[in-house]
Structure 1
Amino acid sequence: MLKLTKQITILFLLVFTLSSMTCEGEDDWRSRSNYKPTTMSRADFENSIKMSAPQTMKKAGKIYLKDNYMFIGDSNRGFHIYKNDNPENPVLIAFIEIPGVTDIAIRDDIFYANQAVDLIAFKLNVENQQVQIVKRIPNTFPELVSPDGYVQNVGQDQIVVDWN
């Protein structure tokens, strides 16, 4: 019985010791990504949504149709807006910048999007190139993870909007 107790104690100590060990520090495994995070301060992040001139597509995403417009996602950057009066010849007219976005949904005249960690609802006036934020719910989604699966601990005032 004493021998069994010693074996269990040694096994427990071995498991405890191995489980509490870290290699070079607690957060080092998180910084081993081949990608670098692109971050924004919370204040800049919340004021970053705007319409701009047409831009070159970098990471094509989903396509949405609304009225006479076509929206093509550009992952973590925004949406390209096409005038789609003639579906055989859509014309690129603008870009809506939404850092950290990967998807939108549209219901009636409200657009819903994930902007990195936040859920936003907004109205869009393409003719006047205006974006009106209707609602923002901070920290609805988890932090963006790098393409190779790492998380970057950037602090409370910083938001990861992309990985390069």
Structure 2
Amino acid sequence: MAQFRFDWPALAQPSVVNGALPSFIHVIIMSCLTAAITGLSKNSYWKIPATWLLINIGFELLQLKFVAISWLAGTFNLLDIVAACLAAALTGFYLNFQQNSNRRTSAFSIGLQLPIVLIGSLGITGSLIIDNCEYPNGKRTSCEVKPLYMPWDKIRKRNQVYFSADNANTETQSAINEGALIREYQEIHTPGKIYLFNDYLFVNDRFKGIYIFDNTDQTNPKYLAYVSVVGATDMEVLNGVMYVNSFTDIVAIELASPFSYQRSENLLPYPNAENWLPSNAYFSNKGERIEINENKGMVVGYEIKGGKRFFFWDVEL
């Protein structure tokens, strides 16, 4: 059952062992415990492990995608069934040896058999319930999530300054005449920091860029330009240069012609994206917990079992 995970990096064992070992152990332990309580009789040496094998297979099959039982958050794994079959076979041979050697274990009251079955079943379902997280859409499913990366080249190649053609500012008009890009005002989706510098007003559209307004008439600011900066949440102006964060980078834009745009990479620390996941959720790949690969880009969200995606911010991949 893929819900149980063992983290023994020093042993460097194959990942399939980590995933299938719990199923193997469960069949052996519950079969031996059942035999110890009920005692061994004719043919029980194979009936007991076979029963626990069927219970394990049943719960494993309930984790198939098309079954879609919401509280079973595990992931179907054929290796779990193979491990359970192997455990049942080994336990059967062991119990047969015990029976042939007349090493009978004392039998407890038959009234204890049902609680034992229930305990064994809960041993399976307990991990399924624990490995079950609630997501922003209100649904509960596996706590294993896949990180969604925005590649660095997509973040760092959007180095553009756009100007409005519909204003009387001489510097912006001069830039347009020299071939600068034109973009008229668009709605600010997620307003962030607001900054005043001389007669200019700067408004951060969070994680997208900075809008610049002529604030000479404070009752009616005029849109002048837009600076595209993916990941922007803060800004500062010093000596006529605007500095903006871009996730882990710092972007510097001159506020006069030629409005040069320069980027300094990796000046800021990479954030711990797991802090933004729902409680108990973690990044995983094929059932194995993983660390974020910073070389792939910035983690901007995650994908849960079933393919549903959630983003930390209003961004586009």
TM-score scaled to structure 1, two decimals?
0.65
Contact 1:144 1:160 in 2 (8 A): no
Structure 1: gaps spanning 5 or more residues: 1-16
- Tell me the residue number matched to 2:270: 142
The residue matched to 1:101 in structure 2 has which SS? coil
1:107 aligned to 235, 238, 248, which one? 238
**More helix, by proportion:** 2
CA distance in 2, matches of 1:157, 1:97: 21
Q: Deviations over 1:38-82 (max 9, x none)?
A: 71x323322212123222111111111122210011110111111
Q: What do the CA deviations read for 1:61-106 (whole angstroms, capped 9, x no partner)?
A: 1111122210011110111111111111111232211011100111
Q: Say if 1:118 and 1:141, in contact at 8 Å, map to a contact too.
A: no
C-alpha spacing 1:64/1:144, structure 2 compared with 1 (3 Å): farther
1:132 aligns with 2:282: no
Aligned residue number for residue 158 of structure 1: 297
The structure 1 residue matched to 2:228, chosen from 91, 94, 97, is 97
Q: Mean Cα displacement is larger for which, 50-59 or 98-107? A: 50-59
CA contact (8 A) 1:119 1:136 kept: yes
Aligned-partner residue type, residue 266 of structure 2 = P
Alignment correspondent of 2:186: 55
Residue identity in the other structure for 1:149: W
Paired residues in the alignment total 138
In the alignment, the residues of structure 1 paired with residue 190 and residue 148 of structure 2 have an alpha-carbon distance, to the nearest angstrom, of 16
Aligned to 2:200: 69
Bigger Rg, which one: 2
Q: Pick 1 or 2: higher relative contact order, CA cutoff 8 A, min separation 6.
A: 1
Distance in 1 (CA, whole Å) between partners of 2:220 and 2:6 is: 61
User: Aligned residues: percent identity?
Assistant: 19
**Where in structure 2 are there 5+ consecutive unaligned residues?**
9-17, 20-73, 76-141, 163-182, 284-291, 301-311
Instruction: Find 1:31's aligned residue among 135, 140, 145.
Output: 145
Q: Root-mean-square deviation (CA), in Å?
A: 3.6
Verify the 8 A CA contact 1:73 1:102 in the aligned structure 2: yes
In structure 2, relative to structure 1, the CA distance for the partners of 1:30 and 1:49 (3 Å cut) is: farther
Letter in 1 for 2:250: L
Q: CA deviation at 1:139?
A: 5.2
Are the structure 2 counterparts of residues 144 and 59 from structure 1 closer, same or farther at C-alpha, using a change threshold of 3 Å?
farther
Say whether the 8 Å CA contact 1:55–1:95 is kept in structure 2.
no
Indicate how the Cα distance of structure 1 residues 75 and 37 shifts in structure 2: closer, same or farther if over 3 A, else same: farther
User: Structure 1 pair 18/72, CA: closer, same or farther in 2 (3 Å)?
Assistant: same
Residues 159 and 261, structure 2, Cα contact 8 Å, conserved in 1: no
